[in-house]
Structure 1
């Protein structure tokens, strides 16, 4: 069979597009079999200093051919339309064709206040006492949703939502407000620990405050997972077990 003149013209004009398409398919295939490209992550501000900054640094060191973008934002993420490879959140964001694994250590929480504040307002002896105090609360996203304070009780764990005087979506701000005597702050103990050791800041309700669940690493379907995301998920799991 021989192409007609029109067929030859069509072939000549369509060949570059075919070559480009084959090249694009080859590149996609290559990325699936090599740990390379750009890994895009979405995470809340609180995850960074707690465990994620360290995990991402380890990953970038282990895989120098991968570029990493971490966008800190507490807003809800649609994994199918946002363009991110994975979202780290304090709750699981399961949707159609999405998966989740727990990552990071289980956060130890604490309630702290400045010595000056406690001298003026008194020290709470029971979790219910926090309702009579100024509260410094962590906010998700726009600030409409506040993180409840978790406690251990005879019948298991329970939460109390105190009335907030100060609200922020960054744990470091909560710590700063507590140090300046603006109320009781509920935050990660790891963030507060250096300031507790330095003095001027005191833990209250020791033995009553419960741990929070681990963070959740949420990602799209395993069917078309890139090697870079698979490598990150595997490292996150290993990092979790070592915590």
Structure 2
């Protein structure tokens, strides 16, 4: 076979794994028509159809599945060999793709962007803001960021934020018209801004804890969203009561635009974690980003908790 066949094989692997010409083309940095032409040339060379194509779906044929199974380890070895060249560079290079909710991006990633760009100019950080919970492996991400309770067991996780607290907030005007809840169960009588999980479609039950008492409250109201920023904006527009991360509404609380209730029912909880596949080999670029985002105060917090009183 000709030397150019490696390009065709790489194109086939990308399309078969992504199940999409468009996504595979974006991954390889070419146009979909170019990728389609490359695949047709490969199929002509091997003399057999490798992919089934419809207007909506792309999937490997039985022959394509057989070829993909043989090529995947080989291309993994090639990627590993190329990645090993990073040990000979002064600074690592590569693309790191991260899927994360907007709040985590604002709190944990944005403050470190200047340092990343300054100290590691060879690393390209590609961030996709997503409030849902995606399979990072299937969607081609190197890592994801979520709250600790949402991370799958087969992933490795590194803490990247301090403890967080929720704040139950509304405007002074809302509380003047509707009164203030004094217990979480009072929320069922109020206009609350709901949150629906984008990944499952499930309406989130507001969770509270005070000592040994743990409650989950199903709230109702005029608006249901899947974006934390929009929830805060709706609360500021007097729509109803919202929950938010304490840090995200600190300025509004200080200015008096929002007021807080049920503070004693909102204890701290573990914050955001960066998670990634539990594999032995990771790119130097990913390892660098992990170390950069790792929460520096974790050891200090643990030491403080263990210190005898």
Q: Which ranges in structure 1 are unaligned for 5 or more consecutive residues?
A: 1-9
Worse-matched range after superposition: 168-177 or 128-137? 168-177
Confirm whether residue 181 of structure 1 aligns to residue 231 of structure 2. no
Alignment of 1:4-43 (within 5 A): 26-31=81-86, 35-43=92-100
Give the secondary structure class of the aligned counterpart of 2:267: coil
Alignment of 1:187-226 (within 5 A): 187-226=244-283
Deviation (angstroms), 1:156:
4.5
Q: Distance in 2 between matches of 1:45 and 1:165?
A: 24
Give the secondary structure class of the aligned counterpart of 1:187: strand
Deviations 1:80-121 (A, max 9, x none): 3221110111211233xx322232122221011111111111
Worse-matched range after superposition: 42-51 or 177-186? 42-51
**Map of 2:120 onto structure 1:** 63
8 Å CA contact 2:131, 2:227 repeated in 1: no
Greater strand share, 1 or 2? 1
Runs of 4 or more consecutive aligned structure 1 residues displaced over 6 Å after TM superposition? 21-25
**Map of 1:4 onto structure 2:** none
8 Å CA contact 1:45, 1:169 repeated in 2: no
Deviation (angstroms), 1:39:
0.9
Q: Distance in 2 between matches of 1:136 and 1:143?
A: 18
Q: Which ranges in structure 2 are unaligned for 5 or more consecutive residues?
A: 7-74, 302-309
**Map of 1:133 onto structure 2:** 190
Find the partner of 1:151 among 208, 213, 230. Answer: 208
Q: Distance in 2 between matches of 1:126 and 1:23?
A: 60
Deviations 1:7-54 (A, max 9, x none): xxx9xx76x97xxx9987652321466521111100012212232322
Find the partner of 1:93 among 152, 170, 175. Answer: 152
Find the partner of 1:104 among 137, 161, 181. Answer: 161
8 Å CA contact 2:170, 2:240 repeated in 1: yes
Structure with greater contact order relative to length (CA < 8 Å, sep ≥ 6): 1
Deviation (angstroms), 1:195:
1.2
What TM-score results when the alignment is normalised by the length of structure 1? 0.80
Cα 1:142/1:29, change in 2 over 3 Å: closer
Q: Distance in 2 between matches of 1:24 and 1:215?
A: 30
What TM-score results when the alignment is normalised by the length of structure 2? 0.65
Cα 1:94/1:176, change in 2 over 3 Å: same
Cα 1:120/1:221, change in 2 over 3 Å: same
8 Å CA contact 2:210, 2:267 repeated in 1: no
Q: Distance in 2 between matches of 1:126 and 1:25?
A: 56
Deviations 1:193-243 (A, max 9, x none): 111222232111121222343222111234111111111222222445378
Confirm whether residue 123 of structure 1 aligns to residue 180 of structure 2. yes
CA RMSD of aligned residues (A): 2.9
